[in-house]
Every structure is written in structure tokens, then in C-alpha cells.
Structure 1
Amino acid sequence: MLKFVCILLAVIASEVIAKSMFPMPRLPNSCSQISVRRDIISLPPDELLRFIRVVREMHRRGWMDGFGSMHDHISHQIHGNEQFFAWHRRFLRHFEILMQEIDPGVMLPYWNWGTYWQSPIADPVLTGAYFGGNGRPGDNCVVEGAQARWGRNYPTRNCLTRRFRYGATTGAFWPMRAVRDVMNTAKTHAQFRSRIENGAHGIVHLGLGGDFETMYAPVDVLFFMHHAMIDKIWAEWQSRDPLRYRNVDGYDSQRIPVIASSLMPFYSEEVGTALATNGPGYCYVYDDVPAAPSGAMFKSSRRASFAAFKAAANNTMAEQQAPEAVAEAMADEATDAPVVGSEFHVKHALNDTMDFRPPSPMSTEWLRGRHMDVAEAARMQALVNNVVAQINTERRQQRAAAARAE
């Protein structure tokens, strides 16, 4: 009993500490308008530069450390169970609201890693024109793009790092055909969450490596764009059945059933309030996903105790000064936003006569260390292997047909 009480107190203390490290804006009760999240590659240069300026300002204020700390402290509650989708949707909205406190017209874009799934290092997002790629040899620090020479204070004082899975390359990610196979076959929320989390979601974290494969990955802005893509995938699956905007199933980290009225860790808001992207407080849609019809949305039966939530955060760290950002002490050779030039439209540089390769399996050790399901990951590996084999067969048939036509 004493051990359980100590664990509970440690969890509460870690949540209070995390809450105190950056602003905690409340979700609005309604939507004055519905905004659109778009693929970052589709943003006009001026909108891209506005987004970059905003996230740089968030980093300067130390907010990225706060997001990393928060996610890390409660990682066991929000991964490997049915809090995963709803909680991360709420987390992204938290990030987006803080963005809009700096520039009200900026929306969080998503990173469609499916476009360059076979060769992610050819993706413009992983170049100096956007958010940089691999860390430099020796210390793995990101030294190009919008986050060049960023520092972080959580969990230790260091540079922002990435270390690609295979040295110079990330390895393959999931093709969107495999993602849609999961959409077509998963019938319950629990099935869909498990298959996406242990498949398409995990392989990107592992591929980028460095800070990105840790539970404090939100210190990297790419985390939010990656999870916006995961959120978009969930939204598309939800759009196929109106009941999915009101119902969830499965269990949380304590093996307690998750239903729409269950509370999300840290935010103490009902899971059901996060089931529709265009619902009260969320107020967004994705550029190619239908909005949830208002009649299908979950209706909250209670309000979170936000006053106690905010008081706990403010009282705990009222006199503590935020640590000086590492970036302030590091040479910053990227004062201006990256210039969008020839790298903006990088072509998919692949030999068309070569077969595509599926992503390599994620190791058991890596999966377990991140609260992921080893058996489900193996099933998803078999699925993606089969899809890539189908793609390769079709490519060979197309080449043969083209050769005959000649």
C-alpha cells in the first residue's frame, strides 16, 4: 500500500512540475471560426516564414522545454493505451494555442512523411530550407534549417539532436497505402490506435533518432508536425463512421476501461471533448479530411476543474525563475528564417528500376523502452512488408508493359 501511495505522489508531483514550466491556456468554449491545418510543403513562403518565426519565439521563451518535460513525465500514461490519440490531439492544440498567442493567424501544419516514405532524406522538410536533417557527426547537434543550433534545457543542458537510424539515412517510413490498409481493416478505436502507434508512428521516431526517439521529443518542432500527421490519419479514420466521434474503447495504462467521459492525464478533460477536430476548443480541420457533423459530436457532461489545475501549477513554481535558454549562450548563425529556394521542390531521387524496401523492424528493446506493443509491431511489420511487395510487383508490371510498348 505504501509503495502505491509513493508512486501516486510521484506521478502527481511530476505533473505539477511539468505544468509549471510553461503557460497553460484554457480551451475556448466555442469556435469563432474553423481553421485549416495544411501540409507544410503546401504553405506559401510567407506563411512558412511566419510559422518558423513563431516556433523560434516559443523556443526563446523556453516553452519547448516545457512541452518536452510534460510529455516525458507522463509518458507511461499516454502511450501503449487508448489515451494515445485523444491526449496527443489535446497536446497539439495546447501547442497551437500558444503559437497563436504570438501570431493569431498561424496554424500548426502537418508533415506528410508518406510522400517521401522510401527515401526520407530527400524530403524537403528534412533540409536546411525547412527544419534540418541529421545531426552533425560527433555531437549529433542539428546545425541547419529553422532549428539550427537550438539548445535545450530539458532533460539536461544540450543542443537539439538527431541521429538517423542508419548513420546517413533514416531508413524507410510507411507508405500511405499501408496506412490506408489499417484504416480499412481496423474496426475499433483500440485496434486502430494500436496498429498506427506501433507501426507508422513509431518508425518515424526511430528513424530520426536523437532527441526524436526519446519521450522528451517535443523539444523538437518536428514532433508536433509528425503528430499532426498522426492526428490527421486518426481524423480520416474517424470520418468513415459518425459513431467514432462519440465513442472510444479499450483500456488506459492502469487497465481501466477508457470511455468518452474518461479524463485525459494532465489536462483532466474528458476524452470525448477531443474526438472531433472541429468541436468546441479545437476548431480546426485538415485540408483533405471531412469535418465531423455537429450532430455526431460528443456532448460533455461535466467541466474540468481548471481553477485547481492552474493554481497547482502557479503555486508550485511561483518563485522559480525559468532557466536561461541554452540557445542564448550558443552561437546562432541562423538569425533569419531559412530562405526557401531550390530545396523547396526536391525531387524524389530514386532509381525507378530498383525495388522499394520496407522499413526495417523496430527492435524489441526499443519498443519496450517506449511502452509499445512488441507483438503488434511484428504484425504491423508483416503488413507493411506485404504492401511494399505489392507496390514492387505493380512497378515491375508497369516497367514490363512500358518495355513491350517500345
Structure 2
Amino acid sequence: MTHSTDRRRVMKLAAAAGGALALGHTGTAGAAAAAPGPVVTRPEVRTLTTQQWREFVAAVHQLHSGDTTTNLYDRMVATHSNNASRAHGVPAFLPWHRVYLSRFEKSLQKINPSVVLPYWDWSRDAQAPESSPVLSSSYFGGPGRKPDGAVVDGAFANWRCTVPNPHALRRTTDARIPAFHSSEAVEGTVVRATSYDQLRRSLEAPHGTVHTAIGGHNGDMSFMYAPNDPLFWVAEAFTDLLWAEWQQRHPALARTYNGGSARPSDLLRPFGVTVESTFDTRDLGYTYPRWSSNRTA
């Protein structure tokens, strides 16, 4: 992904967020806000029932409602764009996004407590992403229309964005989407990574391929305001799942964090929580099913 060239509008939205910029910051630096009640299991998006999918979509739309001062969704987009250098190409990539996704999920659950953020196992669609049901009109819609790239089908057809400026949600206009990293390649990363830093570096590139393949030259997913596209959240959740899977397969390394001067006590801004508070997803109120490259569900 590339950085947005229009920072002033992003900063304006971030300022409008005020204290809410931290997306649920509790004021406690040492720990992420633990969710009361049961720990939910995030499902693969294709396993959602019709009712679960409808409730997820409805909650996202409601989060996106309102003007630029009350629209929490757009403020979350601004948070991602405005913290690009803190969250990408650095050791904090995985924990930063883990907290970010958790705050998004909790915002949806304030609207509908039964909603759980699903993940999209994009590795299953690696060879022909355009043929994935996830990119069909039944789910998130496919490539944008020619010539402007606007998304006009799926659950978020005609979705409007405000970051970095008002526009229609855009994706690549190419009917054929470039291939992603395969399940076998992703499995190899999870198996072979012998340190957190190696894992993070090995996951960030495949994650970026998904962004640029779907975003193309001018689509939102190709930029740091990628969360404009609701597809962002389920794609990022799969990257988070892969970190969680690596942690389970390498229990001695599960609570490690390294790369340069990185330390588990580092603070994740703007959330106000430490890296070490993110090591166990259950502390954030969720978990994932176990994953492998031969998983069929």
C-alpha cells in the first residue's frame, strides 16, 4: 500500500474524533480492555448463516451512518491512515492491527451484541480471486465499474467515503484480479518462522498483495485509507488469525516480540495499550478456529 497524499482532511477527521480516536481507550496503558462475558470465535465469512451475514452488514452500515463528526466508521478510517508509520513496516504491524480490529468489532457489538467480526481466508482464493464468492454480489461485491472503479454490487454497493476526500468506494477495474499467496505458501510461513520478527516480515508482504490486487491503481485498498472498503476488516482478520495460529504452533514464542528495539512493553498509539496486552486474543474477547492449508471450511 502507499501513503495518502492528502493528509489535511485525514487530520481533520482525526481531530473530530477527539478522545474517541483511541476507539475505546479505557485510560489503562498496561492492558487492552478485556471484554466481559464469553469469548467469541471469529468465523470464516463463508460459514456465516444468511441471518448472521445480514446482521454483520447492517451493523457496519449503521456504524457508517451520520455526518463527518458523528460517523465513527470514517473516524476509524482516519485513525488507520493517520498512524500509517506506526502500524506498517514495523514490528507493531501485527499487534497494532489486532487492537484496531478488536475496537472495530466491539463498536459493531455495541450496535448488535450478536455480531462477530468474520475473517476471509483469502489464501483459499489465491489463484482466481475474482471467482471467490466473497467477491461476488452475495457478499462484498467484485471489481469496480469502468472507468471510475466505483463498487456497484454487493452488500456495500454505492458506499460513500470521506477519507481523504469525498468519493465513491473504489476497487480495481480489471475483471481478473492478480493472484494472492497460496495456502501452501502461507502455511510455509507459519511453519518456518522461528521468531516474531521473521513472522511479521513474512506476513506483511502477502497481506499487501491482497490490498494492491483488489485496490489496483486507484482503489481504496491500495492506500492507507484502505478501511474505507469494508472488505479490509475481514482480510486483515485473516492476517491476525495467522499470527494466532503461529502462536499456538510455537507456544514457546507466543509471547515474544522483537525486531530492532521493539519491546513487549511498547505502547501502541493511539490506543494506549501495550504490545504484551495483545498476545492472547482471549484477553480481547475472541479466538479463532485452528487453521491449516488443507482446511476445507
State whether TM-score is above 0.5.
yes
Map 1:103-114 onto structure 2 (within 5 A).
103-114=112-123
Distance in 1 (CA, whole Å) between partners of 2:172 and 2:223 is: 12
Q: 1:101 to 1:128 in 2, by over 3 A?
A: same
Q: 1:22 to 1:219 in 2, by over 3 A?
A: farther
Give deviations 1:181-239, integer Å, cap 9, x for gaps.
111211011111001102x1011001001001100001111111000000001110111
Which residue does the alignment assign to 2:224?
A: 215
What is the DSSP-based 3-state SS (H/G/I as helix, E as strand, rest coil) of the residue aligned with 2:203?
Answer: helix
Higher relative contact order (CA 8 A, sep 6+): 2
Amino acid at match of 1:173: F
What is the DSSP-based 3-state SS (H/G/I as helix, E as strand, rest coil) of the residue aligned with 2:125?
Answer: coil
Question: Structure 2: 5+ residue runs without aligned partners?
Answer: 1-7, 27-31, 293-297
Task: Please state if 1:235 is matched with 2:244.
Answer: yes
Task: Please state if 1:201 is matched with 2:210.
Answer: no
Amino acid at match of 2:272: S
Task: Please state if 1:20 is matched with 2:18.
Answer: yes
What is the DSSP-based 3-state SS (H/G/I as helix, E as strand, rest coil) of the residue aligned with 1:146?
Answer: coil
Counterpart contact for 2:123–2:180, Cα < 8 Å: yes
Counterpart contact for 2:13–2:78, Cα < 8 Å: no
Amino acid at match of 1:115: R
Map 1:147-296 onto structure 2 (within 5 A).
147-164=156-173, 167-198=174-205, 200-209=206-215, 210-251=219-260, 257-279=261-283, 282-288=284-290
User: How far apart are 1:265 and its partner, in Å?
Assistant: 1.9
Counterpart contact for 2:123–2:186, Cα < 8 Å: no
Distance in 2 (CA, whole Å) between partners of 1:194 and 1:271 is: 17
What is the DSSP-based 3-state SS (H/G/I as helix, E as strand, rest coil) of the residue aligned with 2:172?
Answer: coil
Counterpart contact for 2:13–2:75, Cα < 8 Å: no
Amino acid at match of 1:288: R
Counterpart contact for 1:90–1:274, Cα < 8 Å: yes
What's the % identity of the aligned pairs? 32
Which aligned segments of 4 or more residues in structure 1 are displaced greater than 3 angstroms?
13-16, 26-31
Which residue does the alignment assign to 2:3?
A: none
Give deviations 1:255-274, integer Å, cap 9, x for gaps.
xx111111112112110001
User: How far apart are 1:287 and its partner, in Å?
Assistant: 2.1
Distance in 2 (CA, whole Å) between partners of 1:19 and 1:245 is: 34
Map 1:289-368 onto structure 2 (within 5 A).
none
CA RMSD of aligned residues (A): 2.1
Larger Rg: 1
Q: 1:65 to 1:181 in 2, by over 3 A?
A: same
**TM-score w.r.t. structure 2 length?**
0.85
Task: Give 1:69's match in structure 2, choosing from 78, 84, 95.
Answer: 78
User: How far apart are 1:50 and its partner, in Å?
Assistant: 0.6
Q: 1:162 to 1:247 in 2, by over 3 A?
A: same
Counterpart contact for 1:78–1:265, Cα < 8 Å: no
